[in-house]
Structure formats: C-alpha cells, structure tokens
Amino acid sequence: MCHVSVGHVARVLEERGLPTVGVYVQAFRHVVDEMVLPRAVITPHFMGRPLGPPGDAARQRAVLEVALDLLDSATTRTVVELPYAEKTQAGSSTTGRVSGQ
Amino acid sequence: MAAGETFEEFKDSFSYGSRTDLAFKFLKKLAPDDAARFFAELLTKLGETVDDGDARRLVDHAIEWQARAYAPAPGEQRPWAYDDGPFTPMPAPLADARIALLTSSGHFVAGADPAPFGAAGMTQDEAIARIGEFIRAAPDLSEIPAATPPGDLRVRHGGYDIRAAEADPDAAFPLARLRELAAEGHIGSVADPAFSFVGATSQKRVLATAPAWADRLAAAGADAVLLVPV
C-alpha cells in the first residue's frame, strides 16, 4: 500500500510540473507499471531497505546515483532494474537493464 | 504450532497475528501450496549454507518469494491501475538542480512526533496494532530539516519491518547520502526540509492532500523530487 501511496503522490507531482524519480523494491515492480510511473529504479532488496542493507553506504549511494541520473537522462517514461551487487565500490558505476514505454 | 493449528493458520499468523513479523507478513499472501514450497526450498538452501557458509542464497530466496507474494494474480484487477501517466521534463541539469526527498518510511525528527490520532509517543508495537486506523486516516507529512543528523531521526510505521530504517535511516530515507552528493556537486543542492509520511494510509486522502504537498515542495524550492516508498 505504501508503494501505491507514493505512486499517487508521484502522479500528482508530475501533473503539477514537478519531475519525480522513485526507488522501488522488487516486490513492488508491478505497481510501477500499473500506475505508469514516469521514472523508477527497481532494486533487488528486501522490503523496508529500498536503498540497500543498513550500513552499506556504497550500495545506497550507487542506487541513488542511478536514480538521480535518470532525472537527467530520461526524456520519456523509463524504468531501470538494478542487478544485485553485494559490495559496491564507491565511485564505480552500476549498470542496469533499462526499459522504456 | 498451537494444538490443532493448521499450516494455513500458521503461515497466516505472521501477518498481524500471533507471530506478527512484518518482514514475513507476505506469507499470508501465498497460497498454502506455495508457502509450503517457500519453506521446503528455504530448508534445502539452508542445508547448502551449512556446508559452504554462503548466506546470500537465503536472502535471495526471501526477496524472490516476497516478490511472488505481491505479484498480481492472473486476471486480477488492480484499483490503482492507469492507462497512462504524466511525465514532466527536468527544468535544469541535475548538477544545478535542487532535489527534494519525500519518503513513505514514517521517519520524523526526535521531539517532533507527528502524534497520529493524537497519540503522542506512540510505539512501533502500538502502530502495528493500530494499522487499520492508519489505513483509513489522512496521511501526515513530517518536515525534516535537511541538516538533520541520522542520529536525530526516528521511525514508526505499522506496515513494514522498520529495523533497517531505524538502525540506518539511509536504508530508506537517504538524506545523508543526498547531502554527500550535493557536497560533491553531483546534484545542485538538497531542498530544505525533507519530507516523510506513513505510506499505509487512505488512497483517497493521499490523492486529496497531494496537491498541497506539491505546494510545500515548491515552497522548498524543489526542481525535482526523489521518492522512496518502503
């Protein structure tokens, strides 16, 4: 239900001219498509840890960089799925599968 | 198991029942046959982990079955489904943009408890017990000053396992990480304040209140919004 709540917020913000990007865990992948959300990163994490495990700042940062970079790069609806990376080195790039409309 | 308890009652008890565990409440969403497969495969993988010590497969197993549990059933109609969706282009390059943070993780600053239903100092256990009231109520958007250190953040949310978000807020409310990215010039700046609410709430009321939230984000100077649902 949390994911649907945030999906509704995303749609209202976009309608009012504020671009958004969301970080969604795998369990709610389908909500991103059902709600036709504009920009999303799907992370292979357990619910309650969308950015990654507690204490793993490098992983959290890598997820954030992918999400924020979508704001710059996406010119149409874009969803990126991140592969699992146990220990992400700070500064390394995290690539994911990109799907559009 | 309690005397006479069936397997179905056992697996359902993890969702707001006698064995409430918000990390595993998804078991209730699985059909009994699937839940049995979850446990059988978990034990097989546990046996492998006994020998090689690689617990990664156990984590992956939990994530995979959580996703299965929340996937729509074949032909299921989802009340939140839309045919299309809005897309607003970025007004400025990321390196010049002010980014706002808004999460549904239920974080707030110590001393600024949003006091749902007028209950000051509500505990996590009380929030779990009152989840039905949260789901019917209007959401309350907490303001969190952008400079708040992680140690001053608190979290309460009766809909998910908050242990990670409590131990390290950046697992679900990545304000410290955003500040680092701003300091390094990856983004222009972090909008002040950041925002969080309890996402287990009435959808009708979220839709009614979201335009006012857009105004608050605009007042914070946001060029774009990073959303993190939990």
Q: In whole angstroms, give the CA distance from residue B92 to residue A56.
A: 30
pLDDT at A95: 45
Q: Provide Rg for chain B, Cα atoms.
A: 20
Half-sphere exposure in the Cβ direction for B87 (13 Å, CA): 18
Per-residue pLDDT reduced to its tens digit, B166-202: 999 999 999 999 999 999 999 999 999 999 999 999 9
Contacting residues for B26 by C-beta, under 8 A, at least 6 apart: A27, A47, B15, B65, B66, B69, B70
Confidence band, pLDDT 50/70/90 cuts, at residue A22: very high
Mean local confidence (pLDDT), B6-29: 96
pLDDT at B47: 98
Count A/B contacts: CB-CB distance under 8 Å. Answer: 223
User: How confident is the model over B65-87, as a mean pLDDT?
Assistant: 95
CA-CA-CA-CA dihedral for B117, B122, B127, B133, to nearest 10: -10
CA atoms within 13 A on the CB side of B186: 19
A48 to B165: CB separation less than 8 angstroms, yes or no: yes
The reply to whether residue A31 touches residue B80, judged by beta carbons under 8 angstroms, is yes
Determine the pLDDT at residue A70: 97
**Which chain B positions have a beta carbon within 8 Å of A23's beta carbon?**
226-229
Q: What is the pLDDT of residue A83?
A: 84
Token pair belonging to A10: 């995303």
pLDDT at position B3, please? Answer: 82
Please report, rounded to a whole number, the percentage of residues in chain A having pLDDT higher than 70. 82
Q: Are B177 and A51 in contact (CB under 8 A)?
A: yes
Q: What is the pLDDT of residues B102-144, one digit of tens each?
A: 999 999 999 999 999 999 899 999 999 999 999 999 999 999 9
Q: Is B82:A35 a contact under the CB 8 Å cutoff?
A: yes
pLDDT higher at A89 or B122: B122
Searching chain B, which residue's CA lies closest to the CA of residue A86? B56
Say what the pTM is.
Answer: 0.94
Residue of A15, A25, A32, A51 to mutate when probing chain B, most B C-beta within 10 A = A51
CB-based contact (8 Å) between A8 and chain B?
A: yes
Cis peptide before B193 (omega within 30 of 0): yes
**Amino acid symbol at B79:** P
* pLDDT value at A87 more than 70: no
Is the pLDDT reported for residue A43 higher than 50? Answer: yes
CB A97 within 8 A of CB A26: no
**Nearest C-alpha in B relative to A4:** B80
Res A85: pLDDT: 55
Query: What's the confidence (pLDDT) of residue B63?
Result: 95
CB contact under 8 A, B229 and A49: no
Spacing of C-alpha B38 from chain mean position: 23
A86 vs B contacts (CB less than 8 Å): 56
Q: Which residue would you say has higher pLDDT here, A2 or B129?
A: B129
What pLDDT score was predicted for residue A1?
Answer: 75
Average pLDDT, chain B: 96
The answer to whether the CB of B85 falls within 8 A of the CB of B210 is no
Prediction ipTM score: 0.94
Q: What percent of chain B has pLDDT over 70?
A: 100
- How far CA A20 is from CA of A70, B22, B226, in Å, comes to 10, 28, 6
Cβ partners under 8 Å of residue A99, min gap 6? A78, A79, A80, A81
Find the mean pLDDT for residues A52-61. 96
